[in-house]
Each structure stands twice: as C-alpha cells, then as structure tokens.
Structure 1
Amino acid sequence: MAIAKLDVVALDCPDPRALADFYAAVLGGTLTHSEEDGAWLVLEVPGGQRLAFQKSPGYVPPAWPAAENGQQAHLDLTVGDLDRAEKEVLALGARVLDAEDRDRSWRVYADPVGHPFCLCAA
C-alpha cells in the first residue's frame, strides 16, 4: 500500500506568472490557485496532473549537463511531431540544450528560466 499520493510537482523560478504562462502554452490547462502575492501558482493540466511555480529569490538555474548546479529533475513531455513541437516551444522562449543527435526519439531543451525538459516522440 502506498504511503502517499503525488499531488503536484513544483518548479522554483524568479517569476511564477511568466513560467506558468510558458507551461500553459506548452501543455494547455488552467491556472487554478495563486497566492495573493503571486509567489505560488498552480497549473492544472489536461489529464489531472498539476504543475506549480514557486517564487525563489536568488534563483540559480540548473546547468545541463554540468555537475555544478546540475539538473535536479526534468520533465518529459510527449509530442506527436518533434519538429513541429520544437518550433513551437522555441517560439515560446525555450532554448535547445542538446542538438547533437536529431535522429533519436527525444530532444532536450531549457524552459525560459533554465529548467531542463525533453520533448519525446509518442
């Protein structure tokens, strides 16, 4: 029997609204909860998952693939067309982290504040 149920994955960032807007454009969904001061936002994405954004003063983005300030976690996002999805996330402010192997079924990016994520072919 499980001890707990996963409720939400939270990402630290300097501007919760800006990062929430980025992921809402990528994943769809609705912002459902916000602290009055804007320091915490929750995005309900289709399928029932929740992604939160927490203001972190002095935020330092993870480095990929470096060990110092290295990634602590990343998101894998499934897409139907890697090339189309790549164009769309780049237009929203993502940047490519790994462009070496264009023939594999996944690609690595950073969101606008540096969190690594992968687009993975369905």
Structure 2
Amino acid sequence: MTVLKTGVLVMDSAEPESLARFYAELLGAEVGPAAGDGELFLVTGGSGVVLGVRRDPNHVPPSWPTPEDSQQAHLRILVAADSLDEAEREAVALGARPLSAEEDGTRRDNRTTLRRFSDPAGHAFLLAAVREEPVAN
C-alpha cells in the first residue's frame, strides 16, 4: 500500500508570514502556520496546500533573472488569457515587482502570454496565460 503524500514548494523568507499572506491574496487562498512548526506557513486553497514559506533570517533573494545565472525554481501561476492584465494589476497592487524582458534577456513580444515578477522577498514568479480558465482553488 502506498502512503498518501503531498508535495509542496517551500520558499525561504526572512518574513515568512507576510510573504505567505502575499501569495494567499494573489491566489485567493488562506494562510496559517504548519502544525507544530512556527517557522513554516502554508498557503492553502480548495485543492489543498499550494505553497509553503519557511523562516530563514539570513535569506538572500535569488539573482534570477540575470542572464549569467540559472533560472532557479520559480512559481508559475496560470491565468485565463483574457485576465492576464487584471492579474498583473493585482500582483503589483499586492507588492510584486515587474521584471522587464530586458532584465532577463528575453524578447518583449511574449508579454501577451507571460509576465515576469519578483515577490516582496525577491523570488521570481510568472503569470502565464492559458487558453481555458485555470482550475479554481
């Protein structure tokens, strides 16, 4: 018998609760501390745990998207194509910083399907257009 498991991407942050709240607002989810662990906050939605944010007082933001560095892990948030502009406005209003195509060495003409950002702690994430409505939380 296989033991039931769930995988979750965990990001480090000097201020994990505030970063978890950023993602909860952006994803329409909720946030709370992991059971028995005051250093880890979980962002959860209707489909379960979406993301974890762990306290690291020495956190240094990743250097991506500079061309000389690797991309590293990043979160790709799927958005209906006709809602991409609205999703971008929401992300920026919550504290995301847009990353220009020039910063990551890519062409500007893909902005119709992809938008790049850094979250308040400096982690990279993308808003990516999909043809159909993404699954709701």
Whether TM exceeds 0.5 here: the answer is yes
Paired with 1:37 and 1:49, the residues of 2 have a C-alpha distance of 15
Counterpart selection for 1:92 from 67, 91, 94: 94
Distance 1:62 1:70, change over 3 A: farther
How many percent of aligned residue pairs carry the same amino acid? 41
Q: Distance in 1 between matches of 2:67 and 2:110?
A: 24
Q: Who is 1:24 aligned against?
A: 24
Q: 1:48 matched to which residue of 2?
A: 48
Q: Which amino acid aligns with 2:98?
A: V
Q: 2: CA distance between counterparts of 1:64 and 1:91?
A: 22
Q: CA deviation at 1:75?
A: 0.8
Question: How many equivalent pairs are there?
Answer: 121
* CA distance in 1 between partners of 2:50 and 2:65 (Å): 26
Deviation at 1:46, TM superposition (A): 3.0
Local SS of the residue matching 1:84: helix
C-alpha separation in 1, matches of 2:115 and 2:52: 23
What is the TM-score normalised by the length of structure 2? 0.74
Q: Equivalent residue of 1:101, what SS?
A: helix
- The structure carrying a bigger helix percent of its residues is 2
Q: Which has the larger radius of gyration?
A: 2
Q: Distance in 2 between matches of 1:31 and 1:24?
A: 6
> How far is the alpha carbon of 1:59 from its aligned partner?
0.7
CA drift at 1:86: 0.5
Please give the secondary structure, in 2, of the residue aligned with 1:63.
coil
2:119 — aligned with what?
Answer: 111
1:77 Cα shift? Answer: 0.5
Deviating more after overlay: 75-84 vs 97-106: 97-106
Shift of 1:34: 3.3
Residues 61, 69 of structure 1: 8 Å contact kept: no
TM superposition shift of 1:101: 3.4
Q: How much does 1:70 deviate?
A: 5.0
* TM-score normalised by L of structure 1: 0.82
- What residue number does 2:105 align with? none
Could you tell me which residue of structure 1 aligns to residue 85 of structure 2?
Answer: 83
Unaligned runs of 5+ in 2: 102-107, 131-137
Partners of 1:68 and 1:12 lie apart in 2 by 22
Q: Secondary structure at the match of 1:19?
A: helix
Where structure 1 has 5 or more consecutive residues not aligned to the other structure, the ranges are none
